[in-house]
Copies of this chain bind each other. A is one copy, B any other.
Amino acid sequence: MFQIDVMSRTPVYEQLVEQIEQLVLIGLLEPEEQLPSVRQLSIELSINPNTIQKAYSELDRRGLLFSVPGKGCFVSKNLENVLSARRDIRLKDLRELVIALKVLGLSKEELLKLVGEAYDTGLT
């Protein structure tokens, strides 16, 4: 279900956070759906339960899921806030990147062409 690379420089818990986030955002994990338990996932991925717990806590903190003590973790219902927040962050990054490329001498036409291509070819 998840692809974890323990050799990667990005912390394991962060890889998990990002992948779950992706699954939620593209709708593969639906609201109210229950996530695998910490223990089960730790066995599946051969990863320390603490690391799984840390990922879940982070996602809870971000509002993507909520944990019910004794029951498990579930995908949040109202994800609009989360979505827009994440989008705002991305847009801020995008703005910085655009300015950096402008500084590096990229013309507006070239830039728009490349952005359009990236949009069309990505994750069709």
Binding site for B on A (CB under 8 A): 6-9, 11, 22, 25-26, 61, 66, 68-71, 74, 83, 86-87, 90-91, 93-95, 97-106, 108, 111-112, 114-116, 118-120, 122-123
Contacts and interface: CB of A to CB of B under 8 A. Distances in A.
A20 to B, nearest CB: 14
Contacts of A119: 98-99, 102, 108, 111
Contact of A123 (B9, B94, B99): B99
A74 B120 CA distance: 38
A60 to B, nearest CB: 10
Given A91-B101, A112-B115, 9 more contacts: A6-B68, A7-B66, A9-B66, A9-B69, A11-B69, A94-B114, A95-B122, A108-B116, A112-B112
